[in-house]
Amino acid sequence: MIEKQGLYDPAFEHDACGVGFIAKIDGEKSHDIVKDGVQILCNLEHRGAVGGDMKTGDGAGMLLQIPHKFFKKVCSFNLPEVGEYGAGMLFLPRDEKRAKEAIKLTEKVLKQENVKLLGWRDVPVNPECLGEQALSVMPSFKQLFISIKGLSGDDLERKLYVIRKILENEANKEGFPQEEYYFPSLSSRTFIYKGMFVSAQFETFYPDITDPDFESAIALVHQRYSTNTFPTWPLAQPFRYIAHNGEINTLRRNVNNMKAREATLKSDLFGDELKRMFPIACAKGSDSAAFDNVYELITQGGRSLEHGIMMMIPEAFGTKYHISEDKRAFYEYHSAVMEPWDGPAAMAFTDGTKIGATLDRSGLRPARYTITRDGKIILGSETGIIDVPGPNVLSKGRLAPGGMIVVDTAKNRVLTDREVKSMVSRKKPYRRWLEQNVIHLKGLLGTSGSIQVDGETLALRLRTFGYTLEDIHT
């Protein structure tokens, strides 16, 4: 038991979500990475909450690269080469009639969008391991495989994103809420298995994971401790790009601002399809889900993973902080583009090729990593998430407040915080853009003397611009 000392009091200690990943730096896929990911998830079980039946968890899951070898073996239809088709996990209603209606709707929309349906696969599950609460709201499960003529790589991935948003919007119009129609993933690169259970039940519930042909070079895992929402199957993590330990304290402002800027959003990559994807951020989701929604748009809109994270979770960049002028210019420029998503956060992120993690600028959530001599990197919200023999440890470290680490499996490299942010901040001339375009409001109006206040409309204007009693009296 840690004793009270200084400002620290163990009575105020709180647990939080468990997040971690393991990756083979050279991108070599193997079932060993998947098994290690399961072990990490099980070792993080203490970071999740358990329901009154002692078997229902807040949620656990794993994000991996598409297990192409496994899918080719188990699917009853032919699959194209990896990277030339999209695969998705779909949560559907338990009621058989409703599920058939949802499948029919999906096939109808795919046909309208000129998407080729390669086939459906029933997902083998073992619900006997679940608690009563999780079982009572458990969806049914289908895996969907599609291709789009002439598209592969980034173009296919972007189109799959658009298709998923259109499907979700159409399902919502037809009366299917998120709990009855939800894609944990639909991608040509990544695949997600998750649900409302504790981590020890994960491998039992989804026996796919245990197949020796189920291979990946990355495994991002999450054990949920719900802080802002009740547990549900869709809100288990990881989400499509991220897994998050912490809270976004500015969520309402962030989501409202995102809704407001939908009127002015434009993209050469999306064109007219952009409007069909609104709303971007789901107001009914958790803080992590909303963050993932916006991060997905930013990265699919042409920015790199690292760029998007730096925009949304900036490090401290005021003049009193010792950072490079290029980085400061990057953050100052983007502060006019997007407000920060503030709060204590450890954020892991991946697109199936790169995987990394970052901390918020206060560093209130831990993230520690180990790089091994046999070419793996392991990162988690605490040390000891998996056993690594001492002689196999090449280096260890932790993320500093606002720090980041990225693994690029295509280039077989681990990129440090300094390398990542130097590359991103120097990719465009942000310093010159600021010098040429920034307008400082201080002294702009040249007002001297007292300012006349219209007392009759003052209260209305204060409310309009979001002022509160705290703002006025402090």
pLDDT digits (tens, 9 = 90+) for 219-258: 999 998 766 567 889 999 999 999 999 899 999 899 999 9
For residue 1, pLDDT over 50 is answered with no
How confident is the model at residue 3, as a pLDDT? 62
Task: Tell me if the bond preceding 279 is cis, omega within 30° of 0.
Answer: yes
Q: State pLDDT tens for residues 121-130.
A: 999 999 999 9
For residue 442, pLDDT over 90 is answered with no
Portion of the chain with pLDDT greater than 70, in percent: 93
Q: State pLDDT tens for residues 59-74.
A: 899 999 999 999 999 9
Q: State pLDDT tens for residues 92-103.
A: 999 999 999 999
How confident is the model at residue 17, as a pLDDT? 85
Confidence of residue 416 (pLDDT cuts 50, 70, 90): very high
List active site positions. Answer: 17
Cα-based distances in Å from 11 to 4, 14, 37, 382: 9, 9, 32, 20
Backbone angles phi, psi at 392, to 5 degrees: -90, -5
Contact by Cβ (8 Å): 317, 323: yes
Confidence of residue 292 (pLDDT cuts 50, 70, 90): very high
Mean pLDDT of the chain: 91
Q: What is the DSSP letter of 391?
A: G
Q: Please give the average per-residue pLDDT across 26-52, as a whole number.
A: 89
How confident is the model at residue 456, as a pLDDT? 82
Question: What is the pTM assigned to this prediction?
Answer: 0.89
CA angle 16, 18, 19 (to 5 degrees): 130
- 179-193, 345-359, 455-469: lowest mean pLDDT where? 455-469
How confident is the model at residue 45, as a pLDDT? 83
Q: State pLDDT tens for residues 74-88.
A: 999 999 999 999 999
Of 278, 305, 377, the C-alpha closest to 21 is 377
How confident is the model at residue 446, as a pLDDT? 62
Q: State pLDDT tens for residues 282-291.
A: 867 789 999 9
- Residue/partner pairs of 127-132 with CB below 8 Å, 24 or more apart: 127/205, 129/55, 129/197, 129/201, 129/204, 129/205, 130/55, 130/56, 130/196, 130/197, 130/201, 130/205, 131/51, 131/53, 131/54, 131/55, 131/56, 131/57, 131/197, 132/53, 132/55, 132/56
Of 245, 124, 121, 234, the C-alpha closest to 184 is 234
| Helix, coil or strand: residue 194 | strand
Q: State pLDDT tens for residues 135-170.
A: 999 999 999 999 999 999 999 999 999 999 999 999
What is the spatial distance between Cα 114 and Cα 398, in angstroms, rounded to a whole number? 47
| Helix, coil or strand: residue 182 | strand
Q: Please give the average per-residue pLDDT across 29-38, as a whole number.
A: 98
CA 329 to chain centre: 26
Q: State pLDDT tens for residues 196-227.
A: 998 899 999 999 999 999 999 999 999 987 66
How confident is the model at residue 139, as a pLDDT? 97
The DSSP result for 246-313, as a single string, is E--TTHHHHHHHHHHHTTT---TTTGGGGGGG--SS-TTS-HHHHHHHHHHHHHHTT--HHHHHHHHS
